[in-house]
Amino acid sequence: MQSLSYRDYRDTRRFAALDGLRAVTVLGLIAHHFQAGKLQPLIGIGKITVFFVLSGFVITLLLLRTEDKSGSIKLRGFYLRRQFRLLPLYYTALAVYCVARFSVGDEWDRLREALPYYLVFLNEYSPTDPDITSFWHSWTLGYEQKFYLVWPLIFIALSRLAPKSRPWWTLGLAGACLALMPVTDGTPVHYFSLFLGCALAMFMHTEGTYRLVRPLTHPVASFAVLCGFAALHLWLPTIARNLGSERYAFVFYALGVAVLIVAIVNSGVGRWVLTRPPLLFIGERGYAMYLFHGIAGAAVMGLAPQWGGSPVRWLLICLVTVVFAEVAHRLVELPFADMGRRFNAWLDQRKAARANAPMPRQHAGEAPAPQPAEAA
């Protein structure tokens, strides 16, 4: 047993345990929204924080490896690929919610009131009351979508102005979000979590700073981190009560998630558990499951109200959500993601063809075209 070397980390193309972590999180989120009876004390709070830290880590890892491969970040290609993956599935889910809620008076009124916000990813500003069956849970995507638009620009600026110290600058941005929390409603904690994930990816990408986190990749240390994170997860409600706010507790949870990500990239108990095939299957469809679990839960509650907030109902909602997610993943998410890649490749080919096109040939006896100075 040994720690993960820097070279092995850089050579790893896919960190499957992150998909497993995403799966556990979305299953816990379903239980949080629809209750799971006696399992509820294990569910806790803070699942959204896991998504935010993961999103920051993954998007920055993608930017860093694209930069290594191509020498620079092509914003057009990055935005096209990202939005072709995210937007079609998002608007498909929104359309499904609208159709399903249209005939339900009060619920349709709430959704209709929030619809202008949902259409332009201002979900977190929606004036409606929280209602999971009316797409309210999409508020997190409002934060993430705006972050996905702005962060690549910040990344490029840091890469040009402070390439060696950009991990520390990114950590500073996370700290700035913390500084804003006392003078706001606390929502900057979500951007703190995103920037923390970004900073972690940068620290792990550079050999000098990777040494700071490498000890956590040792299987023994990884197991200790796993136990510590489980304790943090169970005690988080108590921490929130003592601090007087869940959002301040989420700061500690985000830090715990960042340490957990480091611990599960190498072999160990945590990685083994999180890479079981069912969890990988769910994790790969995590975005679709997050979008559709509200409508799946509404369907189960309508068809089987007798189970109430029980583990059986939670399990049934999870199964129905998997069905929704699988259909959406195959019919919408994958085809449009492929379309985005092909469209970007076509644009690259078209640009290359124009750049390599021969200059117009000058016919014999034809005077050369005047230069700007001569034409004047």
Tokens at 315, concatenated: 């399990």
- How many other β-carbons are positioned within 10 Å of the β-carbon of residue 49? 27
Q: Is the pLDDT of residue 141 over 80?
A: yes
- pLDDT band at residue 318 under the 50/70/90 scheme: very high
Mean predicted confidence (pLDDT) in 354-358: 75
- Residue 113 tokens read as 């009131």
Residues above pLDDT 70, as percent of the chain:
94
Predicted local distance difference test score (pLDDT) of residue 371: 47
Q: Which pLDDT band, with edges at 50, 70 and 90, does 366 fall under? A: low
Band of residue 51 on the pLDDT scale cut at 50, 70, 90: very high
Least confident of 27-36, 57-66, 290-299: 27-36
Of 130, 167, 124, the C-alpha closest to 146 is: 124
Check residues 3 and 107 and name the one with the higher pLDDT.
3
Question: What's the pTM value of the predicted model, to 2 decimals?
Answer: 0.91
pLDDT of residue 375: 36
pLDDT > 70? residue 91? yes
Of 22 and 352, the structure prediction assigns the larger pLDDT to 22
- 237 DSSP assignment: H
Contacts 24+ apart (CB under 8 A), 166-174: 166/202, 167/199, 167/202, 167/203, 167/206, 167/209, 170/195, 170/198, 170/199, 170/202, 171/195, 171/196, 171/199, 173/199, 174/198, 174/199
What mean pLDDT do residues 89-93 have? 98
Q: Where are the domains of the chain?
A: 11-343
